[in-house]
Amino acid sequence: MYRCQSCQKSVGPGVSSQLVTVATRLTEFPARPSTQRYAQGRRVKWNDDPGGTGLQIARELRVCAACAATRQRRRPVLVS
Ligand SMILES: [Zn+2]
């Protein structure tokens, strides 16, 4: 049971909610040495994560199925 954060209506028990991303931001991720695990034969080795830039969720709403269908057609707003 929850209240939809888009239409503010109360949704009954047993109905699942959905998270919809409404705003994203451009973020720089730092490089991380020895974080990605892989197997070479029976040995475990670690690769470096190079880092880089990407989108990060800035704001998301917990909405009902009807609101999720209308909101997922729109692209999230890019904030800084
Ligand atoms: Zn709703």
What does the DSSP assignment read for 10-57?
Answer: EE-TTPPPEEEEEEEEEEEEPPEEEEEEEEETTEEEEEEE--EEEEEE
For residue 24, report the distance from its CA to the centre of ligand 1, in Å.
Answer: 21
Which amino acid would we find at residue 27? T
- pLDDT in 10s for each residue of the chain, 80 residues: 999 999 999 999 999 999 999 999 999 999 999 999 999 999 999 999 999 999 999 999 999 999 999 988 888 899 98
Report CA(12)–ligand 1 centroid distance (Å).
12
Residue 45 alpha carbon to ligand 1 centre in Å: 47
Q: What distance in angstroms lies between residue 79's CA and the mean position of ligand 1's atoms?
A: 24
Residue 6 alpha carbon to ligand 1 centre in Å: 5
Query: pTM of this prediction?
Result: 0.70
What confidence score (pLDDT) does residue 74 get? Answer: 87
